[in-house]
Each structure stands twice: as C-alpha cells, then as structure tokens.
A and B are shown apart, each in its own frame.
Chain A
Amino acid sequence: MPGPAPLREPTYFILAALLDQPRHGYAVADEVEAMSKGRVRLTAGTLYGALDRLLTEGLVLVDREETVQGRRRRYYRLSDDGRERLALEVERMEQAVAAAGAKLRGARRRSASKAATA
C-alpha cells in the first residue's frame, strides 16, 4: 500500500523547523531559510497557509500564545503525528537518494573504465 503523498518543500521545512523547539511564525520563516541555506524563503501568505493546513491536519499544534507590544503571537510545535509524518518523508527521500546514488556511482564507474581503456 502506498504511503502518504510526498510533502511539498515548504511544508517539509516548516515541520523540520519545529523539530527542536516551538517557534512563532517569524522564527519558523527564519529557521526554514537557514536550514535551506537561503533557497526556501517563505512569504507570510505561504507560511500561514501551510501552518493553517498543518494545524487542521493535526501535524502542528499551538504551543502557547504571547502578546508582544499589543500584538498576539502564537508559538507552534510539532505533534506526534507531525513528527511521524516528517520521519516518513525523510525515509522516503533517503530511499530516493540511495536509489539514484547507486545508479549514479555505477554510471561514473562505467565512464571511468571506458576512459581508461580508450
């Protein structure tokens, strides 16, 4: 039976950003950018769209709320389901990397031996 659908990259990084500690929205966006080495830059619209969906699916929970300078700020944390979903995704990607990596190494060996005989 096939597993769940692969996570989209922003969703994957949002879940990964919440692995070590609860974070508020801006901290999540910052962590995602740092983890992806600047490749994934979440806009507010994308971030909160994804967070809302993850909250609905129960993969992310609201840890606590704070009021900073009169503005409400929520801290989000990973749920057990979210942790499990992320682990599944990591496993899926590891399998994909292993499969492609083995083929790539084989192709390199073949081209190296061809070059040596020529």
Chain B
Amino acid sequence: MTRLLIRLVLLTYPRDYRRAYGDEIAEVALRSRRTLPLRELAALVGGGARQRFRQARARPARAVTIVLPRPFLMATNALIVLLSGVGTGVLLARLLFRQKLGTLCAPYCVDVYVTAATPQQWALCLVLGVAVCAAAFRLLAAARRRLGIFP
C-alpha cells in the first residue's frame, strides 16, 4: 500500500481529524504490512465514515439547513455518486473476473465519502451508490457475455 493511496483514503476522515491524526494513522497503516492491504483500506474507510457520522451527529441542525437545500451541491453529489458507482462496478467486475487490480477507480470511491456531509447525504449516497453499482455490474456482465470484454 503506497503512502499516496493511504493519503487518498485518509480523505474519508474529516479535515480537522485528519490534521490531528493523519500522520499517525498513515504511519501505523504503512508499517502494518502483516495485514492485508485491502483489510487495512476497508478499516480506514470505515474509520473515516464513523468519524464523519460522529461529527455530523454533533452538529446536525446547521449541516442539514445549510447543505441540503442547495441544488448545486445535490447535483454535484449525485454526479459523484454516479461516477463512484461506475468506478466501484468496474472495480468489482475486475475483482470477479480476476483481472489485475488497478487503482484508477479508487478516487471515485473515495470522493463520495468526502463530499457527503450529513447523515441524509450519506444515506442518499449509499442507496444511489448501491443502485448504480448493481446497474453497472449488470451492464458489464452483459458486455462480457456478448462482446467479450473482461475475458
């Protein structure tokens, strides 16, 4: 796991938490080579999600009233969810079809957690992400069968 990838995954944490603990977390993650990188990656994303939920819960009223009514932010989030869904779908497809794993999809998967600020947005991202992932996976599976993509 490269330092760049860890730094990217650390974006899932809130900014102030990242500033306070980012160096330490990166150090521990980089030195724990005995564990599987994917397990480490998942744990970091999970940790970032928990921190964001904790912060959102601590200031729910302000976050909901300021962030949610803005159509531009909602549209941006929806676009990022779409990209994340496709990215995740491609990643899953590559995993399932035993292709060599690339990191091209990782930024899409991370962005969704960075921009969502409230529990409502998280829920929306989760639902849309899962739906788009399922759709992308179906499309890719069909393409694989008919066109021979991802042999």
B23 touches A43 (CB 8 A): no
B interface residues (Cβ-Cβ under 8 A, vs A): 17, 21, 23-29, 31-32, 34-35, 39-40, 42-48, 50-51
Residues of B within 8 A of A24 (CB): 24
- Please, which residue of chain A has its CB at the minimum distance from the CB of B39? A43
Total number of residue pairs linking A and B with CB closer than 8 Å: 65
Number of interface residues of A (CB under 8 A): 18
Q: From residue A51, how far is it (CB to closest CB) to chain B in Å?
A: 9
Contact A49 B28 (CB under 8 A): no
Q: Is the CB of A46 within 8 A of B43?
A: yes
* Closest chain A residue to B28, Cβ basis: A44
A-B contact pairs, 14 of them (CB 8 A): A26-B27, A29-B32, A43-B39, A43-B40, A44-B26, A44-B40, A45-B42, A45-B44, A45-B46, A48-B21, A49-B51, A71-B23, A71-B26, A73-B24
Pick from A41, A42, A48: contact of B24, CB under 8 Å: A48
**Chain A: minimal CB distance from B54 (Å):** 8
CB distance B51 to A43 under 8 Å?
Answer: no
Bound-state Cα–Cα, A73 to B42, Å: 23
Q: CB-nearest residue of chain A relative to B21?
A: A48
Residues of B contacting A114 in the complex (Cβ-Cβ under 8 angstroms): none
* A46 CA to B21 CA, complexed, in Å: 13
Asked if A41 and B28 sit within 8 Å, CB to CB, the answer is no
B45 and A25 contact, CB distance less than 8 A: no
* CB-defined contacts of B46 to chain A, threshold 8 Å: 45, 49
